[in-house]
């Protein structure tokens, strides 16, 4: 549940870089997603046709502050997005490093504090740093979105131990793995760690067949969630026979014959 909204699908899908609006529309439908992310710049470039497309999708819109490098830029962009999309939801991005697109932790907390005080329901794009997560929660965020890897890299979950520790540290906070997911298996892995959702874009938009890939991610997220709920077997350092020894034939008596 995100800010009181219950969702059936645990996949959130970005809307950039698709080969055509028609393919985007088909990918949204194939994925089963109920939340799509849209940047203010993307909406401005697409015009009325793009607005009609996202409205027809029936999905909740999660505007984002992509491209912002300061808290002031992010706050202004979020305020404009709220007017355009008529929602208090905002995916907060404040980029601090040009190459990795890693968020600026200080500006991120500053912007989150301002936006939460202004009535926004903030989804902060962050790292798996526990202290940063605590500061964001203290600022008013009720969701955390740690990266799996740098945006668009397709590297998957680079710090599984860190993500696992974050899940344990914030047991009651919805957590979404955002960025770096490149394959359905990686999305399933995130869900198996107990995360509440996965957000991705490039892996679907840039696939040879975005519609088929969107469907694959939708199924992978569901499979990972089911596995987590069913209870994954613990890892062992040594083998454990699956066939019981009781009832096996004893050939020791015949060794001297």
Q: Is 220 annotated as a binding residue?
A: no
From the list 203, 196, 110, 194, the residue with the least C-alpha distance to 149 is 203
- Determine how β-strand 197-200 pairs with β-strand 11-14: parallel
Q: Which of 10, 42, 91, 222 is catalytic?
A: 91
Q: Is 33 annotated as a binding residue?
A: no
In sequence order, what are the beta bridge partners of 35?
Answer: 12, 60
Residue 188 sits at φ, ψ, to 5 deg, of -60, -40
Q: Is 180 annotated as a binding residue?
A: yes
What is residue 233's three-state secondary structure? coil
Q: Is 64 annotated as a binding residue?
A: no
Lookup: tokens for 136: 């964001």
Kindly provide the residue ranges of all beta strands, DSSP E only, lying in the chain, ordered along the sequence: 11-14, 35-39, 60-64, 89-92, 121-126, 145-146, 176-178, 197-200
Residue 91 known to be catalytic: yes
Q: Is 201 annotated as a binding residue?
A: yes
Residues labelled as active-site residues: 91
Binding positions are 152, 179-180, 201-202
Binding positions for 1-deoxy-D-xylulose 5-phosphate are 152, 179-180, 201-202
């Amino acid at each position: 549940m995100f800010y009181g909204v219950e969702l059936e699908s645990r996949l959130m899908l970005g809307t950039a870089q698709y080969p055509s609006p028609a393919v985007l529309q088909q990918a949204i439908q194939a994925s089963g997603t109920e939340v799509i992310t849209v940047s203010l710049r993307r909406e401005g470039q697409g015009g009325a046709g793009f607005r009609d497309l996202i409205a027809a999708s029936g999905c909740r819109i999660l505007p984002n502050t992509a491209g912002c490098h300061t808290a002031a830029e992010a706050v202004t962009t979020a305020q404009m997005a709220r007017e355009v999309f008529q929602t208090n939801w905002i995916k907060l991005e404040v980029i601090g490093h040009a190459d990795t697109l890693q968020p600026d932790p200080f500006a991120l907390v500053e912007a989150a504090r301002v936006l939460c005080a202004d009535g926004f329901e903030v989804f902060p794009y962050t790292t798996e740093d526990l202290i940063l997560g605590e500061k964001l929660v203290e600022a008013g965020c009720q969701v955390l979105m740690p990266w799996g890897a740098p945006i668009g890299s397709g590297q998957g979950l680079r710090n599984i131990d860190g993500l696992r520790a974050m899940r344990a540290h914030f047991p009651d906070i919805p957590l979404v793995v955002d960025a770096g997911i490149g394959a359905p298996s990686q999305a399933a892995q995130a869900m198996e760690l107990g995360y509440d959702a996965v957000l991705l874009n490039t892996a679907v938009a840039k696939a040879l067949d975005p519609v088929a890939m969107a469907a694959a991610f939708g199924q992978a997220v569901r499979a990972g969630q089911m596995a987590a709920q069913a209870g994954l077997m613990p890892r062992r350092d040594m083998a454990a026979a699956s066939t019981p020894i009781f009832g096996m034939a004893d050939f020791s008596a015949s060794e001297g014959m």
